[in-house]
Amino acid sequence: MDGSFDAIVVGLGAMGSVTLYQLARRGIHALGIEMFEPGHDQGSSHGFHRMIRMSSSQDDGYAPLAERAFDLWREAEDRAGSLLLRSPHHHHRSLGRGAARRARAADAGGTARQRLLSADAARVVVGRARGARFLLDVPEGSFYGMPAVGDVGVKIGLSAGEATTARTIRRTIDDAEIASLHDVLDRYLPGASGPEQRRISCICTYTVDRDFVIDRHPDHGSVLFGCGFSGRGYKFAPVVGEILADLAIGGRPSHDIAFLRAERFAKVTGVE
Ligand SMILES: Cc1cc2nc3c(=O)[nH]c(=O)nc-3n(C[C@H](O)[C@H](O)[C@H](O)COP(=O)(O)OP(=O)(O)OC[C@H]3O[C@@H](n4cnc5c(N)ncnc54)[C@H](O)[C@@H]3O)c2cc1C
């Protein structure tokens, strides 16, 4: 490794990894820097599966990005020779119809092109998807989850709602919290609960408007940043990497990303 690079990617979660890959595809001599080991569980991109769908609750510029992301995920499948996108073959089937009704499962949109994405930065898990992602908005809190996929059991999570940082986040999940998740499953999704397989904490970085930020630093033009993926960025990782790589080599991104520029916050706050 020589000491000179045309591009440096700092942070190799989903977004940084794909950006590095896209730079390499463009023949750019690039370096990736990660503060933890590859595939670590200290950021946002670990875990076994993610949800991907075409529709968005916001009628905005994400649809073309999602379309492109689907194409790129399929390209990745071809290259890897592995199935990454799985269709749930019946909405809420594994969760019990009555339970889903009672629980106000809110993820009705996007069933036509909804997929389970079985991948993370470290490895790929291929399995049988039974049902769609579920969202529970109940008096006990707002929970999200995934059906069992292959040998990975049902996933249920609760947003702690605590503002934190990567250095100060509480990484422990105590037994009482696990018990309350079992209670929620038993109450609203009977049959979905089973023996605990693993407990993991994860960071979500939210912007105030829940839109991503992809932009160039206003004072340091050679610095680009992509962040604030607001709990829904994984599905877009291939297209975000493509956009960042295009910007890094001075090209125009193939998609309209004006709505993701950081200057929108200046308009809200009046601070440049
Ligand atoms: C529980 C959970 C469920 C989710 N479900 C979905 C879903 O169903 N569908 C979906 O599309 N999205 C989902 N998301 C969101 C998605 O996972 C994230 O938007 C995405 O993983 C963000 O990737 P990232 O690369 O920006 O962040 P990260 O994966 O956190 O990567 C950032 C990297 O930068 C490194 N880093 C930070 N600072 C430095 C430094 N100074 N030097 C070197 N390295 C540094 C970190 O160690 C980390 O590896 C979910 C997120 C969570 C947490």
Q: pLDDT averaged over consecutive 10-residue blocks of the chain (272 residues)? A: 88 97 97 93 91 69 93 95 76 33 32 41 32 75 84 86 86 94 92 92 93 95 96 96 97 92 80 57
**Is position 198 within any domain?**
no
Name the residue among 36, 220, 17, 10 with its Cα closest to residue 119. 17
Per-residue model confidence (pLDDT) at position 29: 96
Residues 124 and 214 in one domain: no
**Are 184 and 95 part of one and the same domain?**
yes
C-alpha to C-alpha distances, 161 to 45, 141, 169, 180, nearest whole angstrom: 18, 10, 11, 16
Question: Cβ–Cβ contacts within 10 Å for residue 102, how many?
Answer: 15
Do 62 and 42 belong to one domain?
A: no
SS3 content of the chain, % helix, strand, coil (to 5): 30, 15, 55
User: Is there a domain that residue 155 lies in?
Assistant: yes
Q: What is the pLDDT of residue 89?
A: 52
Give residue 180's pLDDT. 94
Claim to verify: residue 61 and residue 172 sit in the same structural domain: yes
pLDDT given for residue 129 in this prediction: 30
Partners of 144 in the beta sheet?
Answer: 135, 157
**Is 23 part of any domain?**
yes
> What is the number of domains present in the chain?
2
Domain boundary pick from 139, 158, 188 = 188
Query: Is 195 part of any domain?
Result: no
Amino acid 268: pLDDT: 62
pLDDT at 4: 93
The residue whose CB lies within 8 Å of the most ligand 1 atoms, and thus the one to mutate among 234, 243, 260, is 234
**Nearest ligand 1 atom to alpha carbon 43:** 30
Task: Looking at the structure, tell me whether residues 117 and 167 fall in a common domain.
Answer: yes
Say yes or no: CB of residue 50 within 6 Å of ligand 1: yes
Q: Which residues pair with 143 in a beta bridge?
A: 136, 158
Question: What is the rounded distance in angstroms from the CA atom of residue 184 to the CA atom of residue 17?
Answer: 36
85/163 same-domain check: yes
Residues 94 and 41 in one domain: no
Residue 194 counted as domain residue = no
Residue 45 CB–ligand 1 contact under 6 Å: yes
Ligand 1 centroid–CA 189 distance in Å is 28
Clarify whether residues 183 and 54 are in a common domain: yes
Q: Are strands 50-52 and 115-117 parallel, antiparallel or unpaired?
A: antiparallel
- Domain range enclosing 104: 47-188
* Angle at 242 (CA atoms; ends 42, 117), nearest 5 degrees: 55
CA nearest to 68, candidates 263, 222, 262, 246: 246
Angle made by CA atoms 38, 42, 23, in degrees to the nearest 5:
40
> In this structure, are 36 and 72 located in the same domain?
no
What is the per-residue pLDDT for 60? Answer: 76
User: Is 174 in the same domain as 226?
Assistant: no
Q: Is the residue at 202 inside a domain?
A: no
The reply to whether 164 and 135 lie within a common domain is: yes
Do 96 and 61 share a domain, yes or no? yes
